[in-house]
Amino acid sequence: MKVSGAVSMDDGGGPTAVGDFLQQMKNCYSDLDKILKHYGCTFDDVVVENVFTTDMPAFLEHAGYRNSIYTKHFPTGSWLEVKGLALPEFLIEIELEVHEA
């Protein structure tokens, strides 16, 4: 299963946690967790994680937060700095590939 990129937005599609990189990251993982649970999966089932960010130094500063997400193993993937995301307020987008057991 492939999970399209999650960004930090509310139910109406507006950006949340504007200017707060760590909170945007937490919001992405929270939304991804809900999607995984909906399909009976967890982060343990993730085999690829791709991170897109407009601020690589901020991502590297907060990358340790991923230790609380991936407690058994880290998936393969790429960390990419991009010029922009869908809205200028978005600082990070995370997409996943999941192996469903």
Identity at 91, one-letter amino acid code: L
pLDDT in tens, 1-35: 999 999 999 999 999 999 999 999 999 999 999 99
| Alpha helices for 1-101 (secondary structure H) | 21-38, 56-62
Q: DSSP letter string over 10-38?
A: -TTS-B-STT-HHHHHHHHHHHHHHHHHH
Q: Please give the pLDDT value at position 7.
A: 98
pLDDT in tens, 52-101: 999 999 999 999 999 999 999 999 999 999 999 999 999 999 999 999 86
Domain ranges in the chain are 2-98
Nearest Cα to 8, choosing from 79, 100, 89, 97?
89
User: For domain 2-98, is the CATH number 3.30.980.10?
Assistant: no
